């Protein structure tokens, strides 16, 4: 790992910066962070304005807008249930989206691109904590294989463009992300919003118990979305090596511990039961974040504080 390159081109406050996926959890947090830092020429398009699955439309957009920098936070995402039932869609759509963005960015001379991958890319049986070099050292977890393979392809496309053309197309590997603005749909949500909704609903209904998926024993690492937005901006202005970097807290928690923490935050008095007929996924997924921390970035939002903020947002935004 190289040390930080002091000759990196810094984005100017008036640089043209395209943030793909700006309406999603991660993209919206990045927009908020960059606006707060004074960036004035953010290029934003929602799905009705630009269908990222349409190669010709994406190429036309890049030809007309000519962004100088690109942050690719666009993806089809979902929890374990969605990933298992829509594996083909997760593979196809994510390949299409990222290929269209990355290749058009290359074709129309974008100075620098950051592609957001996912910790799902790592093999199911990775040694813990997971180092960047463990990528492709084994088979992915079957419950999110489609999404994982697509993200690996995106990482490798950026690496090949970097190696072949010396273009600063880099990637980062965030751990599990949560925060205000998350998806709380029970059919497609990730673990934290899913637990918040189930436990909150059980409290409102005065249910004596609530049943959650799996055994509760898997351990996961969670990063608040505002920490990730901070990290992405830091990467854009401080890092441009070809090697991708993990982004996380370096700390994990069991799903059972997470559920009881949320139970306390929400104020639910009933019992939590576990449906062990449901899949657990990987037994543990903790990223080794020593590389990015050695370069100068570190998460600052604790899990307890982040969960309180997320639950408050959920209550404030209930229909």
Q: Which CATH architecture has domain 17-182+221-250+287-300?
A: 3-Layer(aba) Sandwich (3.40)
Q: What is the DSSP string of the chain?
A: -PPP-TTPPPPPTT--EEEETTTSHHHHHHHHHHHHTT---EE---TTT--TT-HHHHHHHHHHH--SEEEE-------HHHHHHSHHHHHHHHHHHHHHHHHHHHHTT-SEEEEE--GGGSBTT--SSBPGGGTTSSPBPGGGHHHHHHHHHHHHHHHHHHHHH--EEEEEEE-EEE-TT----TTT--HHHHHHHHHHHHHHTT-SEEEEES-S--EE-EEEHHHHHHHHHHHHHH---SS-EEES-S--EEHHHHHHHHHHHHT--SEEEEETTS----SEE-B--HHHHHHT------HHHHHHHHHHHHHHT--
Whole-number pLDDT of residue 2:
43
Q: The pTM is what?
A: 0.93
* pLDDT value of position 77: 80
Any idea which residues carry the catalytic annotation?
147
Averaged in consecutive runs of 10 residues, what is the pLDDT profile of the chain (319 residues)? 62 97 96 98 97 98 98 86 84 98 98 96 93 95 89 98 97 96 84 95 97 93 98 96 97 97 98 92 90 98 98 91
């Amino acid at each position: 790992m190289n040390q930080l390159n002091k000759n990196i081109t810094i984005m100017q406050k008036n640089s043209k910066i395209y943030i793909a996926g700006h309406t999603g959890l991660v993209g919206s947090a990045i927009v908020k962070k960059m606006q707060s830092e004074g960036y004035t020429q953010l290029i934003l398009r929602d799905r009705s304005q630009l269908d990222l699955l349409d190669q010709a439309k994406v190429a036309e957009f890049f030809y007309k807008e000519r962004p100088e920098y690109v942050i690719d936070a666009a993806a089809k995402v979902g929890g374990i249930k969605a990933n298992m039932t829509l594996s083909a869609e997760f593979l196809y759509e994510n390949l299409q989206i990222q290929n269209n963005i990355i290749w058009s960015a290359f074709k129309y001379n974008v100075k620098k691109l950051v592609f957001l991958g996912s910790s799902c890319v790592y093999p199911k049986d990775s040694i813990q904590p997971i180092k960047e070099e463990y990528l492709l050292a084994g088979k992915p977890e079957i419950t999110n294989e489609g999404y994982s393979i697509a993200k690996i392809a995106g990482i490798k496309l950026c690496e090949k463009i970097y190696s072949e053309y010396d273009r600063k197309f880099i990637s980062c590997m965030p751990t599990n992300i949560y925060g205000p603005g998350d998806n709380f749909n029970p059919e497609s949500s990730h673990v934290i919003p899913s637990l918040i909704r189930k436990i909150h609903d059980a409290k409102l209904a005065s249910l004596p118990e609530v049943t959650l998926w799996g055994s509760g024993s898997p351990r996961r690492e969670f990063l608040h979305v505002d920490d990730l937005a901070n990290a992405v901006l830091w990467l854009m202005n401080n890092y441009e090596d070809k090697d991708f970097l993990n982004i996380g807290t370096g700390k994990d928690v069991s799903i059972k511990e997470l559920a009881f923490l949320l139970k306390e935050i929400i104020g639910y008095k009933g019992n939590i039961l576990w449906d062990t007929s449901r899949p657990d996924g990987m037994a543990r997924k903790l990223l080794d974040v020593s590389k990015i921390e050695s370069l100068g970035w570190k998460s600052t939002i604790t899990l307890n504080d982040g969960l309180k903020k997320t639950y408050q947002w959920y209550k404030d935004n209930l229909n």
